[in-house]
């Protein structure tokens, strides 16, 4: 069996929980408490913890803005019950998450939208959503990842055959690349200098026939940075265009010139080894299997938590 790496499994390769003192549980509880105005009315209790009319209002606004969903009031309540149960079980296991971890996730979401955290907070505010409401959801969702993959870690291991069977393309070949990035520095916004440096880069490409002789040639050029050697597998390359370029570049040669913020960049392909064990298709298949298993175990465990929960609706 092949042990599967997880993106959010904790601090070891097996998704084990990390225990902290009782203070961690108190911090978690404080973050999960969404800000509520003094006049918010209690709607129901989940194991003694309240969900208010304000919570429902906030989630409705959030789903409309972020998820593009217009759910019924009851559907929103069911979502909030699930989040409340996730938060409670996370406190039970004392998940090793801090407010700083949540802020990082919040920042990551902002970067994904190509805006700053302040802009994200402002955007939420304009829609009537408190940023703490969003952060509380991030904390619940992130902790839930730890819980499911830690509690059911044996279900997140897949044989090579299972991964091969799930791959859309069979018998595909990947590569292990040993690369040396080469950067020609160009002042930002200087089109004349950029064109001149492009000629220098193209000239180097024409003379570069292997890394042993080519890298010393590059070092003789002015304003050229040769970065440390890196090893990448085809499956690690998220951009299909870059993957295709590297696949087509012969060993010992340079990739075509690419414009970056700092100047012109090329990659010296110093070594390229064929592999069938790690390919983009297999990585995609593994991620698909992981997602399917996570969704299955998540639904099963939530159903169990709901059966065990004391859910009281206020009349």
Question: Which residues share a beta bridge with 177?
Answer: 232, 272
Please state the pTM of the whole predicted model: 0.57
Q: Do both 299 and 269 map to the same domain?
A: no
Query: Does the residue 134 lie in any domain?
Result: yes
The more confidently predicted of residues 46 and 235 is 46
Query: Does the residue 166 lie in any domain?
Result: no
Spatial distance between the Cα atoms of 188 and 303, rounded to a whole number of angstroms:
56
Q: Do both 216 and 190 map to the same domain?
A: yes
pLDDT score of 261 more than 50: yes
**Residue 246: CATH number of its domain:** 3.10.50.40
Spatial distance between the Cα atoms of 8 and 275, rounded to a whole number of angstroms:
27
**Residue 307: CATH number of its domain:** 1.10.4030.10
Q: Do both 59 and 154 map to the same domain?
A: yes
Q: Do both 153 and 226 map to the same domain?
A: no
| 271: helix, strand or coil | strand
Write down the pLDDT at residue 219: 95
Spatial distance between the Cα atoms of 88 and 28, rounded to a whole number of angstroms:
9
Write down the pLDDT at residue 202: 95
The more confidently predicted of residues 20 and 315 is 315
pLDDT tens readout for residues 171-222: 566 788 999 999 999 998 899 999 999 999 999 999 999 999 999 999 999 9
Strand positions, DSSP E, the chain: 42-46, 49-52, 174-185, 224-226, 230-233, 258-259, 263-275, 311-313
pLDDT tens readout for residues 28-40: 444 444 455 656 7
């Amino acid at each position: 069996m092949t042990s599967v790496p997880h993106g959010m499994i904790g601090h070891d390769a097996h998704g084990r929980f990390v225990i902290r003192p009782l203070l961690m549980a108190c911090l978690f509880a404080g973050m999960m408490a969404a800000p509520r105005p003094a006049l918010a009315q209690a709607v129901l209790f989940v194991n003694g913890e309240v969900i208010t009319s304000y919570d429902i209002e906030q989630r409705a606004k959030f789903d409309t803005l972020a998820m593009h969903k217009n759910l019924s009031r009851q559907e929103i309540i069911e979502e909030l019950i699930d989040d409340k149960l996730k938060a409670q079980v996370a406190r039970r296991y004392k998940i090793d998450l801090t407010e700083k971890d949540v802020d990082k996730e919040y920042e990551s979401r902002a970067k994904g939208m190509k805006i700053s955290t302040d802009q994200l907070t402002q955007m939420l505010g304009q829609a009537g959503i408190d940023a703490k409401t969003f952060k509380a959801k991030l904390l619940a969702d992130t902790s839930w990842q730890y819980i499911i993959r830690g509690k059911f870690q044996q279900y997140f291991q897949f044989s090579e055959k299972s991964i091969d069977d799930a791959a859309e393309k069979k018998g595909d070949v990947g590569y292990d690349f040993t690369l040396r990035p080469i950067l020609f520095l160009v002042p930002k916004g200087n089109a004349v200098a950029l064109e001149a440096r492009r000629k220098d880069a193209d000239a180097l490409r024409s003379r570069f026939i292997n890394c042993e002789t080519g890298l010393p040639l590059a070092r003789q050029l002015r304003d050229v940075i040769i970065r440390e050697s890196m090893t990448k597998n085809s499956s690690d390359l998220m951009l299909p265009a870059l993957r295709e370029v590297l696949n087509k570049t012969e060993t010992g040669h340079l990739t075509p010139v690419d414009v970056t913020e700092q100047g012109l960049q090329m990659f010296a392909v110093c070594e390229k080894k064929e592999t069938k064990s790690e390919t983009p298709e297999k990585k995609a298949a593994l991620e698909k299997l992981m997602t399917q298993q996570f969704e299955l175990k998540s639904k099963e465990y939530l159903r169990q938590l709901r059966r065990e929960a004391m859910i009281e609706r206020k009349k």
